[in-house]
A = this chain, B = another copy of it.
Amino acid sequence: QTAGMEPAIQGRMEGAEETALLRKMDAYWRAANYLSVGQIYLMKNPLLRRPLKRDDIKPRLLGHWGTTPGLNFIYVHLNRVIKEHDLSMIYLAGPGHGGPGVVANAYLEGTYSEVYHEISQSERGMQRLFKQFSFPGGIPSHAAPETPGSINEGGELGYVLTHAFGAVFDNPELIAAAVIGDGEAETGPLATSWHSNKFLNPVHDGAVLPILHLNGYKIAGPTVLARLPHHELRSLLEGYGYKPYFVEGVEPLATHRLMASVLDVVIAEITGIQQKARAEGFKTRPMWPMIVLRSPKGWTGPKVVDSVQIEGTFRAHQVPMADMDKPEHIRILERWMKSYQPEKLFDQKGSLRPELAELAPKGDRRMSANPNANGGQLLRDLQLPDFYDYAVKVLRPGAAQVSATTVQGQFIRDVLRLNEERKNFRVFSPDETASNRWSAVFEVTERCSTAEILPSDYKVSPDGRVMEVLSEHMCQGWLEGYLLTGRHGFFSCYEAFIHIVDSMFNQHAKWLEATRHIPWRKPVASLNYLLTSHVWRQDHNGFSHQDPGFIDVVANKRSEVIRIYLPPDANTLLSVTDHCLRSRNYVNVIVAGKQLAPQWLDMDAAVKHCTLGIGIWDWASNDKGFEPDVVMACAGDVPTMETLAAVDLMRLNFPDLKIRMVNVVDLMRLQPASEHPHGMTDKNFDVLFTKDKPVIFAFHGYPMLIHKLTYRRANHSNIHVRGYKERGTTTTPFDMVVLNDLDRFHLVMDVIDRVPKLGSRAAYVKQALLRKLIDHKRYIREHGEDMPEVRNWKWSGEKFGD
């Protein structure tokens, strides 16, 4: 059974004094279990002072018991080593559905009552603690933001290890204990995140202690890892680069003894690795210790209910015994709770007995009060360079040909440089930093790797601050862990593949939404995305790489926490980037191209434009002092270029047409003010877009998003949107817009179709445009690149500022 134990470990924790300590720890564990069961079942009679009645029990039983005793078991053991070695540790419950356990422990160590005064350390407080759990007006069932000490909700399973690693990067004193459910371990994100150890440098990073919790089951089925032969499991974990210690048991005292012994060894190893690395510098990636805890699901719970086995089976997963109208079930519950001997755990008042309370660490050392789990407390502003210093000279609109993200990369480089000492900023990408044109960052740092490095590698080092791994999940999870512990970061990603983390984004946005209503949670740095290699410029790739829909997912989340920016050129991108890096508690999504593209605004104009978020480009409009005949609106770099090219064509062909050109940087400006803090009032919207003139809107993403944002506006029925309509393949840049009717020629035709005054005199132009599109098709099929007049098109309008 204890196949993984070495003799040296088995010899520890064996004296009489140790046994006494272990017995106290067992009592503490029982207290946590007692409080967990109480939360799931009771609303009255918390200390069972009188016989349990139906009426004491909640009418709806909600929560998860199965995982909880294991979580509690681990918690008390970690407490011991924290105290003994004065460690800074946080606790991440992978199976966050074990919320009752995490809450119970926060309550036992006093933190809970400190942040929620109502839930005091008394019988009354305990009653409230029980009642509030999964109860209307109470708290959620998981290790949610409401839970002190939590940075991992654990509702959507799979992220505990990547969160833990994110938390300890650049956090040398911190140990993140990460309990991994054996079901959770089957998820893709978890399965790959074991490899995070190839990115952890003990010299300046903290440590993660993975604790794989093999309770054998998930909701209903057995788990993969619990059913591996022992040697295979060991082989797998060693293959992942860990040194596994196995703790297996059913009988409490023996298992406590084993766990304590193993933890002593594990902590010694972690400290040893760190001391060595910090004394001698980084040499090679160490084998970090980890623990495999094999214990019954629903440990210490009812063994049999209604003649079926509960403890040790999947049936213990949720509420192990329902239908509390059966008196027999009430008796089982009472016996179960009394088996923990509450009278020995809590005093007359209902507080944890002092000899048990002293087992918990004090102050900030309590895992539920560790400031790393409320990272806003630790957050320091980034040192930011002046983004004006990176401005692209734009003497006239369309003059310069610049890759916007290349310029942004120079700014990011200097953010890295300026915060090098504080070590509180990293960039994350699925192997796309260079591809996304942030290569400038490699002037000051490298890709991070603590694995073997070869001469043929470029810019790879164990001290690198560029976190590259081909896993969008790991990038996202690391960054979340890094942010939630009070640091800053940026995630750059191909636009299409950011959908891989849709659900992780959802969970993080929900976390942020929830924290807005929790006064003791301090604001953390925003999660910043650069989405590039976007739908319109997928040159090496094709249809599979074309999906601008992430912003649709984002727009479904509550407006208080989300921001979407579509800067049309490099200077606007710089301004937006600076803004995002200063913001707090948001998810900022920036979509910008990496290819060479014309530049429109000088820095002064860019800043003003970004600050307003939306505006008329007067140099591209000719309706000043008039009513416009048409509003040419656009959002996104390629649509902006096509719109300007269309305006250019119209100037030539319809010199007396009054055109207003409106560009949108901050997409949320389009929403009503009632819907989003950035939203425009109807008045302002109507002034800009008119109440009755045709609006031709060239949009970066799926057209519906614009309708969704504007459907309440007076002029909505005149807003005609062009965007991605899921047509694409590997083709030329201009052909991509043509395939989706977003090109300059279609835009002009849209105007012809919608502006009555152009009437039939425009028929010749329209026909010429249609012919142009035929030329285009023929040309690209022959030459493989766009027609020179398209490729070399330049804005011909008057000089900037004129």
Contact = CB atoms under 8 A, between A and B. Distances in A.
Chain A residues touching B, majority SS: loop
Given A142-B542, A156-B544, A222 B449 contact: yes
Contacts of A545: 155-156
A678 interface: no
A329 interface: no
Interface in A218-255: 218-224, 227-229, 232-241
B735 A136 contact: yes
Interface in A445-486: 447, 449, 451-454, 456-458, 460, 468-474
Given A312-B456, A543-B140, A549-B553, A470 B198 contact: no
A314 B458 contact: yes
B544 A144 contact: yes
Given A458-B314, A460-B222, A496-B156, A141 B542 contact: yes
Interface in A400-452: 431-435, 447, 449, 451-452
A144 B135 CA distance: 51
Interface stretch (A180-188, A753-761, A765-773): A180-188
A447 to B, nearest CB: 5
A241 B228 CA distance: 9
A36 interface: no
A716 B319 CA distance: 46
Given A220-B434, A556-B552, A785 B716 contact: no
B142 A541 contact: yes
Given A236-B240, A470-B184, A452 B60 contact: no
Contact of A471 (B134, B188, B239, B453): B188
A326 interface: no
Interface in A506-547: 506-507, 510, 513-514, 539-545, 547
Given A192-B191, A780-B137, A553 B502 contact: yes
Given A241-B232, A541-B142, A473 B556 contact: no
A368 interface: no
Nearest to A731: B136
B547 A506 contact: yes
Nearest to A284: B229
A186 B471 contact: yes
A235 B224 contact: no
Q: Which interface residue of A233, A433, A500 has the most chain B CB atoms within 10 A?
A: A500
A469 to B, nearest CB: 5
A192 B223 CA distance: 13
A794 interface: no
Interface stretch (A4-12, A348-356, A701-709): A701-709
A784 B539 contact: no
A558 B236 CA distance: 42
Interface of A: 43, 58-60, 62-64, 97, 131, 134-142, 144, 153, 155-158, 183-184, 186-193, 195, 198, 216, 218-224, 227-229, 232-241, 309, 312-314, 318-319, 431-435, 447, 449, 451-454, 456-458, 460, 468-474, 496-497, 499-500, 502-503, 506-507, 510, 513-514, 539-545, 547, 549, 552-553, 555-558, 702, 704, 707-708, 711, 716, 725-726, 729-732, 735, 777, 780-781, 783-785
13 contacts: A156-B497, A186-B192, A186-B474, A188-B471, A222-B451, A223-B470, A234-B239, A502-B502, A506-B547, A510-B726, A514-B543, A707-B711, A711-B716
Per CB-CB distance, the 6 closest pairs between chain A and chain B, nearest first, are A236-B239, A155-B544, A188-B188, A191-B192, A499-B503, A235-B239
